[in-house]
Structure 1
Amino acid sequence: MRTAVVVTLLGIGAIAVAAGLVLQLHTYPLLAKLQHDINTVSVSEGEGVTAVVHPPGKAPEVRHNLRLTATTHVEGDLAAPEIKKNGDVTVWKRATIVKEDAEKLVLSAEVRRICLDRRTGEAVAPCHGEFYETEQGKRITAQDRQLLHPGLSFVFPFDTEQRDHRWYDTVLKRPVDIHFAGEQLLQGLDVYRFQHTVPPTALDRLAVPGYLVGSPEPSVDVTQYYGVTRTLLVEPRTGAVLSVREDIRQELRTDDQGEGAGTPVFAGELRLTNASVTANVDQVKENLPRLFLITVLPVVLWAGGAVLLVAGLLLLALRRRGVVAGSLALVIGACLAAAITYGVTTSSDPDDALDLENVVSSSNVDYGLR
Structure 2
Amino acid sequence: MKRIVGAMLFGLGVLLVVAAVGLPLYVAPAVSQLPYDLERSESVAESANAEFLQIKAGAANVERGGLRSTVEVVPQPKITDEKMTGDLEGKTVVWDVFQSVRRIDNNEIISEYSTQLAIDRVSGAAAKWDPAWLEDGTDQPANYAGQVYKFPFGTEKKDYPVYDREIRKTVPAQFKEVTEVRGVQAYRFEQTVPEAQLVLAESNLKLLLARFAPEATTARLMYTNTRSFWVEPVTGSYVDVRDQPRKVLVPDVGQPTVLLNADFRYNEATVIASAERAADNAASIQLVRLWGPITLGVLGLLAIVGGAWLAMRGAGRRAAVEPVEEERAGSHRADEDGKDAEPEAPTADAPTVEAPSADSTERTVPDQRSSAERPAAR
Shorter-chain TM-score bucket reads 0.7 to 0.9
The TM-score, its normalising length taken from structure 2, stands at 0.71
Q: Which amino acid aligns with 1:196?
A: Q
Corresponding residue to 1:88 among 86, 91, 94: 91
Tell me the percent identity. Answer: 25
**Partner residue of 2:181?**
186
Match of 1:250 in 2: 247
Paired with 2:304 and 2:83, the residues of 1 have a C-alpha distance of 47
Residues 41-83 of structure 1: CA deviation (Å, up to 9, x unaligned)? 221111211111012x2411112x3111111111011221246
Q: Deviations over 1:149-182 (max 9, x none)?
A: 1011111111111101111111111111101111
Map of 1:50 onto structure 2: 51
8 Å Cα contact 2:128/2:145 also seen in 1: no
Cα displacement (A) at 1:253? 1.0
SS of residue paired to 1:54 = strand
* Shift, 1:313, TM fit: 11
Q: Which runs of 5 or more structure 2 residues have no equivalent in the other structure?
A: 317-378
2: CA distance, partners of 1:216 / 1:122: 44
Q: Distance in 1 between matches of 2:3 and 2:184?
A: 48
Check conservation: 1:46, 1:270, Cα contact below 8 A.
yes
Alignment check: 8 A CA contact 1:82 1:89 kept: no
Are 1:278 and 2:272 matched, yes or no?
Answer: yes
Structure-2 residue corresponding to 1:173: 168
Structure 2 counterparts to residues 347-362 of structure 1, below 5 A: none
Cα shift at 1:23: 1.5
- Aligned partner of 1:201 in structure 2 is 196
Kindly indicate whether residue 289 of structure 2 is the aligned counterpart of residue 290 of structure 1. Answer: no
Change beyond 3 A, Cα 1:126–1:197: closer
Hey, what's the Cα distance between the residues in 1 that align with 2:3 and 2:141?
A: 70
Alignment partner, residue 367 of structure 1: none
Secondary structure of 1:220's counterpart equals: coil
SS of equivalent to 1:25? helix
CA drift at 1:6: 6.2
Q: Partners of 2:108 and 2:209 in 1: how far apart?
A: 23
Q: 2:136 maps to which residue?
A: 134
**Cα deviation code 1:21-52 (max 9, x no counterpart):** 32123212222211323311221111211111
Which deviates more from structure 2 when the two are superposed, residues 287-296 or residues 88-97?
287-296
- Name the aligned partner's letter for residue 231 of structure 1: S
CA distance in 2, matches of 1:67, 1:20: 53
Distance across 2 between alignment mates of 1:108 and 1:266? 11
Deviating beyond 6 angstroms after TM superposition, the runs of 4 or more aligned structure 1 residues are 312-316
Shift of 1:286: 2.9
Aligned-pair CA distance for 1:87: 2.2
- Alpha-carbon separation, structure 1, partners of 2:146 and 2:12: 45
Match of 1:13 in 2: 13
Tell me if structure 1 keeps the 8 A contact 2:7–2:307. no
Q: Is the 8 A contact 1:193 1:231 kept in 2?
A: yes
> Aligned pair 1:40/2:41, yes or no?
yes
- Shift in alpha-carbon separation, 1:282–1:83, aligned structure 2, 3 A: farther
Code of the residue aligned with 1:131 in structure 2: it is W
Please report the RMSD computed on the Cα atoms of aligned residues, expressed in angstroms.
Answer: 3.1
Is the 1:91–1:113 contact (alpha carbons within 8 Å) kept by the matching residues of 2?
yes
Q: How many residues align?
A: 306
Output one character per residue of 1:136-155: Cα deviation in whole Å (capped at 9) or x when no partner: xx76567xxxxx21011111
- Stretches of structure 1 that go unaligned for 5 or more consecutive residues are 143-147, 323-370
Would you say the 8 A contact 1:131–1:140 is kept in 2? no
Superposed displacement of residue 102, structure 1? 3.4
Structure with higher RCO (Cα < 8 A, 6+ apart): 1
Counterpart residue identity of residue 130, structure 1: A
Is 1:77 aligned with 2:71?
A: no
Deviations 1:188-223 (A, max 9, x none): 11111111212322223663443533x342x53111
Task: For residue 33 of structure 2, give the secondary structure of its aligned residue in structure 1.
Answer: coil
Change in 2 beyond 3 A, CA 1:277/1:3: same
* Alignment pair present for 1:156 and 2:165: no
1:228 shift after superposition: 0.9
Name the CA distance, whole Å, in 2 between partners of 1:95 and 1:315: 64
35-44 or 263-272: bigger deviation? 35-44
Match of 1:222 among 219, 236, 253: 219
CA contact (8 A) 2:52 2:62 kept: yes
Q: Within 5 Å, give how 1:301-320 maps onto structure 2.
A: 301=295, 303-304=297-298, 307-308=301-302, 311=305
Residue 209 of structure 2 aligns with which residue? Answer: 210
Offset of 1:3 from its aligned partner? Answer: 5.3
TM-score (norm. length: structure 1)? 0.73
C-alpha displacement at 1:17, in angstroms? 1.8
- Tell me whether 24-33 or 176-185 shows the greater mean CA deviation: 24-33
Deviation at 1:130, TM superposition (A): 1.1
Give the partner amino acid of 2:239.
Answer: L
User: Residue 259 of structure 2 aligns with which residue?
Assistant: 265
Q: Report the AA paired with residue 115 of structure 2.
A: R
| 1:294-319, Cα deviation, whole Å (9 max, x unpaired) | 21135404752675588579979x99
